[in-house]
Amino acid sequence: MDLNPDAADHLDDDVAFIEQDCAADWSIEEGRLDVVFTSNFLEHLPTKTHLTATLHQAFRSLKPGGTLVCLGPNIRYAPGIYWDFYDHHIPLSERSLSECLMNCGFEIETAIPRFLPFTMSDRPPPPSWMIRLYLFLPPIWFLFGKQFLVIARKPS
C-alpha cells in the first residue's frame, strides 16, 4: 500500500499493489491478513489521527492472532537527526507506539527500543554479512540502535 504509483514498479509480479491513503478504509476484507509490516513509515503520517486510523485498519484486516511488525526511528535516541527529514511529522518511540497499539486493541508481544541503527537514505546499504552479524549480537544494539522494533498481535 502506498500513495506513490511508482511503488508498483518495484514489486514482484505476485504482489498486489494498493494505491491509497493508509488512513482511509482499506479495500481488504476483515480478518484477511496474517501479517502487516511497516518500516520507517509511521512517522511520515501527517497527524496522530492518521496514525490511529491506520492502526485501526491494520487491526481490522488482520486475522485473529495476526501480527503487526513496526520498525521506525526512536525519537528518544535520535532526537535531533529525527527532524532532519522534512516529512517526519509524528515523534514516536517504542513506548508511544505501544500505547497507541494497545488503544487500538493490539497486545504487545515485543518492544525493543534500540534495535537497528538510524541510517540515512543517501548512504549505501551495508553488506548482508554485516547485517546478519549485527542481528546475531543483541548487546551491540544498545550502542548503535536508534530505531525501535515493536511486534504486536491481534488477540485470538
pLDDT of residue 146: 96
Tell me how far apart the alpha carbons of residues 108 and 99 are, in angstroms, rounded to a whole number. Answer: 9
First and final CA of the chain: distance in angstroms? 25
pLDDT of residue 91: 96
pLDDT less than 50: residues of the chain: none
Secondary-structure breakdown of the chain: helix, strand, coil percentages, each rounded to the nearest 5? 35, 25, 40
Strand partners for 71: 39, 149
| pTM (2 d.p.) | 0.92
- Count CB atoms within 10 A of the CB of residue 134: 17
pLDDT of residue 58: 98
pLDDT of residue 120: 58
Q: CATH homologous superfamily of domain 32-153?
A: Vaccinia Virus protein VP39 (3.40.50.150)
pLDDT of residue 123: 77
Q: Which residues, 6+ apart, have CB-to-CB distance to 29 below 8 Å?
A: 61
- Residue 101: phi and psi, rounded to 5, are -60, -45
Q: Extract the C-alpha cell encoding 45.
A: 503520517
